[in-house]
Chain A
Amino acid sequence: MPRYLLIESRDPFDSNDTRFCCDLAQQLAAAKNEVILFLVQNGVLPVRPGARSGDLTTLAGAGVRVLADSFSLKERGIDENRLASGVAAAPLDVVLDALAEGAKVIWH
């Protein structure tokens, strides 16, 4: 099964274009690809419940693995145990694993 890892470094408070990764992730998942959305840097800012996290929860419901970089969360004082539904904390190793396994990895 083709694998994609989309790295989202931007946040919806500062950027109009976070829709790109969400929409792409949804399209890829609908086409039966294995998809991870990996939030990093300010990309983790919407993961607090209610903080424009609805899109992330919807994506998780559509079969996308939504992960948030643990260091980025810690750096911003976001409690790993209180993330929006469908979002999980993960180490940056996930990105390297995906690269090593030949997934298509896109940095947005």
Chain B
Amino acid sequence: MADKKTITIAIMDAPYENARSTTALRLIDLAAKRGYNINVFAYEGAVLQPFAAQTPHANTVHGRSVEEENHFIPKDAIAALMREAERNGGKIDWVNCGLCVDERGAANAIPGVRRGSPADFWQMSEASDNTLVIATR
């Protein structure tokens, strides 16, 4: 197993708007499999990624039921990544920027997500081996 590292990733995109969200989760997945500690600072629309009220739906265009469609739901992917990290001796610390949460009404997040601020992003970054910012456009 690779040496344990701590990586911080800042994301900004709301779910379902851009491929950046998928790539960010792919990176987090790789890091989780390696047992890294992963800090995620969710800024702006990204605070909706772990929003607990997301629900899957059917796909009548393709004739698929809710179960058959098995729609990608970001909060479930994030919960799975948190479990994956723990299974491998790491941890995901997911911080939602508090003011971004407030203005979007996104306080209802899955367990394991905490409210924070830009100070948290700076402190997480200072305590990490490296930081990647995936900004929105």
Q: Does chain A bind chain B? A: yes
**Residues of A that sit less than 8 Å from B by CB:** 9, 40-42, 71, 92-93, 95-96, 99-100, 102-103, 105, 107
Query: B54 on the interface (CB 8 Å rule)?
Result: no
Number of B positions contacting A (CB below 8 A): 19
Bound form: Cα–Cα A33–B52 in Å: 45
**Beta-carbon contact of B19 and A99 below 8 Å:** no
Contacts A9-B20, A42-B19; A96 near B129 (Cβ below 8 A):
no
Of the residues A42, A100, A107, contact of B133 by C-beta under 8 Å: A107
Query: B134 on the interface (CB 8 Å rule)?
Result: yes
**Beta-carbon contact of B7 and A99 below 8 Å:** yes
Give residues 91-135 of B contacting A (CB, 8 Å).
Answer: 129-130, 132-135
Bound form: Cα–Cα A105–B5 in Å: 16
Residues on the B chain within 8 Å of A42, using CB: 19
**Residues of B that sit less than 8 Å from A by CB:** 2-3, 5, 7, 19-20, 23, 26-27, 30-31, 34, 36, 129-130, 132-135
Residues on the A chain within 8 Å of B3, using CB: 100
**Beta-carbon contact of A93 and B30 below 8 Å:** yes
Residues on the B chain within 8 Å of A105, using CB: 130, 132
**Beta-carbon contact of B130 and A95 below 8 Å:** no
Instruction: List the B residue with the shortest CB-CB distance to A104.
Output: B130
Bound form: Cα–Cα A100–B132 in Å: 11
Give B131 Cβ to nearest chain A Cβ, in Å: 8
